[in-house]
Structure 1
Amino acid sequence: MRLFLSGARTQFWLVRRHPDELLTLCTIPFTVVMLLSIVMHAARPDLIANAFLAPTLIGLWGFSTGLAAEVLVGERWTSTLELGMAAPGSLHPVYLGRISAVMLLGVVPLGETWLLGKLLFGVAPTVHHPWVFWAAMAASVFAMAGTSLLLAVTMLLSKNSNNYLNFIGFPIYLLSGVMVPVQYLPEFLQPLSHVIFLSWSADLMRDSLAAAPVAGAGWRLLAIVGLGVAALVGGRVLLALSLRRARELGTVTYA
């Protein structure tokens, strides 16, 4: 826990020193304006909740791929990864603490979206089941932290992995149904959404904004957490193997 908190403090300090790393927040207003403009001009008030949740979850993913996943790569480029490997303590809780700090910042798009919707369009969805909504948000942040660790290790393994991260963004948004529910996708694509935790998050958070009772909230939250745990364990194992290989080769370069 001490190493985890140390990593979180370090990341918050780095963000204060380099506020340009928060540029993801600058893209959220454009997404909000685009989606809400479409919904409002189409006279579809039933889709307002979708237009609010999409920028929130897109922002969470944006923080993951834009900042959290680059934690290990940044360490490599600044030649501090070798120092961490030489330290007596374990690196895993330190990097997980840094990534978790970034994911806490990923909650900011939620408030940003609600504020912009109210100021620019005069609308904001009512959260009829607040405990379900906030539980789903907390579970999503946890799952995103685990996914970010897995993505970070993947980026560490290949110098071209950043291109892959940029590519998978929109397929993830589509398959997870952050704006258009998964049931409207072609049938052969729908099973793929079940392995993406954001699809469970989007559906559960949408249901929490509706007046009707939320069905199966418990097991749906468990699905989000379970996928996050799977990614966390996978990232932890892959990081351990990557660091062991680097020690055996005596280098952490891409060569």
Structure 2
Amino acid sequence: MRLFLSGVRTQFWLMGRQPDDLLTLCTIPFTVVMLLSIVMHAARPDLVANAFLAPTLIGLWGFSTGLAAEVLLGERWNETLKLGMAAPGALHPVYLGRITAVMALGVVPLGETWLLGKLLFGVTPAVHHPWVFWAAMAASVFAMTGTSLLLATSMLMSKNSNHYLNFLSFPIYVLSGVMVPVHHLPEFLQPLSHFIFLSWSADLMRDSMAVAPVADIVWRLLAIVGLGVAALVGGRFVLAVGLRRARELGTVTYA
């Protein structure tokens, strides 16, 4: 726990000194304006909830690929990863703490989206089941933390990691149904969505904003958390393999 908290403090300190790391927040307004403009001008008030949720979940993923996944890569490029590897303590609690600090900011796009919707379009969707909504949001942040660790450790294996991260974004947005629900996708793609926690998050959060009772709340929350735990365990395993491989091949840095 001490190493984890040390990682959290370190990351908040780094973000305070490098505010450009938070540029993801600057892209959210454009996504909000685009999606809400389409929905409002099409006279589809039934899709307002979708247009609010999409930028929120896209922002959460943006923090993951834009900052959290680069925690380890930054260490490697700055040639400080080898210092951590030489330290007596374990590395994974420190990096998990740093990634958790980043993902704690994942709730900011939610507030940003609601504020912009009210100021620019004069609309905000009603949340009829708030505790379900916030439980799904908390589970999503947890799952995104585990996913970020898995992405970060996987990207550690390649010099061209940014290309892979950029490629992942839009397929994830489509398969997770952040704007268009999964059941509208071609049938052969729909099973893939079950392995992406954001698809469970988007569906559950949309249902929490509807008047009708929400079905299977516990099982759907467990699906989100379970996928997050699987990613967390996978990230821990890949980190151990990656660091061992770097030691054996002498490729701790890119120099």
| TM-score > 0.5, shorter chain as reference | yes
Give 1:232-251 correspondences, 5 Å limit: 232-251=232-251
- DSSP-derived class of the 1:252 partner: coil
Number of the residue aligned with 1:61: 61
Whole-angstrom distance in 2 between the partners of 1:193 and 1:126 = 26
* 8 Å Cα contact 2:77-2:253 kept in structure 1: no
- 1:84-112, CA deviations, whole angstroms, 9 ceiling, x for partnerless residues? 00000000000000000000111100000
> Which residue identity lines up with residue 34 of structure 2 in the other structure?
M
* 8 Å Cα contact 1:133-1:204 kept in structure 2: yes
Deviation at 1:254, TM superposition (A): 5.0
Number of the residue aligned with 2:16: 16
Deviation at 1:237, TM superposition (A): 0.4
Number of the residue aligned with 1:6: 6
Show structure 1 runs of 4+ deviating over 3 A.
Answer: none
Number of the residue aligned with 2:107: 107
* 8 Å Cα contact 1:158-1:254 kept in structure 2: no
Number of the residue aligned with 1:29: 29
* 8 Å Cα contact 2:29-2:113 kept in structure 1: yes
Unmatched segments (≥5 aa) in structure 1: none
- DSSP-derived class of the 1:186 partner: coil
2-11 or 240-249: which moved more?
240-249
Give 1:63-102 correspondences, 5 Å limit: 63-102=63-102
Whole-angstrom distance in 1 between the partners of 2:179 and 2:21 = 26
Whole-angstrom distance in 2 between the partners of 1:173 and 1:237 = 26
Whole-angstrom distance in 2 between the partners of 1:245 and 1:27 = 37
Whole-angstrom distance in 2 between the partners of 1:88 and 1:135 = 37
CA RMSD of aligned residues (A): 0.9
* 8 Å Cα contact 2:79-2:253 kept in structure 1: no
Q: TM-score, normalised by structure 1?
A: 0.98
> Which residue identity lines up with residue 119 of structure 1 in the other structure?
L
Task: Determine if the alignment matches structure 1 residue 155 to structure 2 residue 155.
Answer: yes
Whole-angstrom distance in 1 between the partners of 2:79 and 2:161 = 19
- DSSP-derived class of the 1:183 partner: helix
> Which residue identity lines up with residue 122 of structure 1 in the other structure?
G
- 1:53-78, CA deviations, whole angstroms, 9 ceiling, x for partnerless residues? 00000000000000000000000011
> Which residue identity lines up with residue 232 of structure 2 in the other structure?
L
Number of the residue aligned with 1:210: 210
* 8 Å Cα contact 1:133-1:208 kept in structure 2: yes
Deviation at 1:179, TM superposition (A): 0.1
Give 1:173-188 correspondences, 5 Å limit: 173-188=173-188
Whole-angstrom distance in 2 between the partners of 1:248 and 1:182 = 44
Whole-angstrom distance in 2 between the partners of 1:250 and 1:161 = 19
Give 1:211-230 correspondences, 5 Å limit: 211-230=211-230
Whole-angstrom distance in 2 between the partners of 1:23 and 1:39 = 26
- DSSP-derived class of the 2:212 partner: coil
- DSSP-derived class of the 1:157 partner: coil
- 1:204-241, CA deviations, whole angstroms, 9 ceiling, x for partnerless residues? 00000001100001000000000000000000001011
Deviation at 1:250, TM superposition (A): 3.4
Number of the residue aligned with 1:252: 252
Q: TM-score, normalised by structure 2?
A: 0.98
- DSSP-derived class of the 1:159 partner: coil
Number of the residue aligned with 2:192: 192
* 8 Å Cα contact 1:182-1:193 kept in structure 2: yes
* 8 Å Cα contact 1:146-1:231 kept in structure 2: yes
